[in-house]
Amino acid sequence: MIKLFNNYLVNYRDPEDFTPEEDREIADFLDVLLDTQPMQLAYKYVTEGLGKPMSMDKFKEELRIIWFEPFTNYFGNDIVFYCSGFEHVFVGEGKFNPRGGPGWGEISGYHNWVKFYLDEAKGRVNFLGTQYKLPGVSEVLNPNVVTLQMTWTLSNMAGDPVAQIFKERGGFFVGTSPECDLAMGTVAYYESVQKLISTNGGL
């Protein structure tokens, strides 16, 4: 998974263009995923529980499309090109003016604890505190999930900072494996296609 983190351009306006080596990294990642218990359980649930029978090779191709195929995200009046599920969830995207200007840009996505851990170790992200916004609750004493406020400093190839972007409220599971996160997201995708879950997260 970590090999894939540097395959994406943070600015949501920049087109993504994968090299053959990056395509190979994606294929290798999917091969490893499909050998894990969480993805085997997801495959069994999708093919048997949801009644969508397919071969493992077909499932792998659908995973590639779901998680890595670029698409256009229509979020209200905000149209974001060159999105992918993996980039949004695991890497994060940034909305900012690369020429600078007043105010911070905005972080979109960025829901992976490993990415946050690595970025924080290198001084690229700054934890600004929790943001649970629950009535009468300032902290949730669950070490396996965090809802937070953060900044992310973006640098150019020379290591010079070019932007600082901000997330007012975001979060991720802590300690989950990549295959667990992908399996849960994959099951949620297939359930949403069959209208078993609503777009606001309710049942």
State the catalytic residues: 88, 111, 167
Q: Which residue has the tokens 């990294």?
A: 25
Pairing of the two strands 93-95 and 145-155: unpaired
The helix-helix angle for 20-34 and 56-68 (nearest 10°) equals 130
**Could you give the angle at the alpha carbon of 59 between the alpha carbons of 64 and 145, nearest 5°?**
65
Burial class for 29, CB neighbours closer than 10 Å (0-12, 13-18, 19+): buried
Give me 47's structure tokens: 């093919």
DSSP secondary structure code for residue 149 in this structure: E
Give me 91's structure tokens: 């890497």
CA distance 155 to 176: 28
